Amino acid sequence: RAGEDVVLPCNSSSFSSSCSDVTWFHNTNKTQNTQQEVWNGGIVQSSPRSARMSLDRNCSLIINNINADDAGWYRCSYNTDVYLNLLIISSSPPAADPTKNGKITLICSLVRFRGFSSCPVKSLLWLDETGSELTGEGDGYKSGGRSGCVSFLPVNLQSSRRFTCQFVGG
């Protein structure tokens, strides 16, 4: 989820005792051959994201405070491929007053490597506070459908219920 820290494994421990020979690449789109080098020879490459990156003792890439720009394909020079997906939950309007009557729409967006096809049906699920899937209409909510990798859930502002979104699938 946005704002969290992630560790992308490199599996280099069996090859090297130092990360000086490790290179990490990043790509957001399968149709483009450009691979951005994000780490080379123990040095993070200059980018707006570089201050949030480091390596652990196994040369795994640590990214702090992830955001949508971090999603995509990563490759460690030891042929370890990792796909980083990001689930973002927002609302429309973004600053609704919960003390007033009315509705708000929760928006669940999955940001992932653009080489994958659109999200399969039933891959973005809305869950209530008990972890049960929401379907149809219930107390304080009405299923709002989805478009690609974005799902919508209109809810009543006066509802004291808690809702979350979950990605299921590949």
Question: What is the pLDDT at residue 5?
Answer: 95
pLDDT digits (tens, 9 = 90+) for 142-161: 666 666 788 888 888 777 78
Q: Is the pTM of this model over 0.75?
A: no
Residue 143, domain member (yes or no): yes
Is 131 found in the same domain as 113?
Answer: yes
Q: Choose the final residue of a domain: 47, 68, 84.
A: 84
Is 156 found in the same domain as 91?
Answer: yes
Question: What is the pLDDT at residue 13?
Answer: 54
Residue 132, domain member (yes or no): yes
Separation of alpha carbons 132 and 130, rounded Å: 6
Question: What is the pLDDT at residue 158?
Answer: 74
What are the structure tokens assigned to 157, written together?
Answer: 């502002």
Identify which has the larger pLDDT, 28 or 35.
28
pLDDT digits (tens, 9 = 90+) for 94-136: 766 666 677 888 899 888 776 666 777 778 889 989 999 888 7
Please count the structural domains in the chain: 2
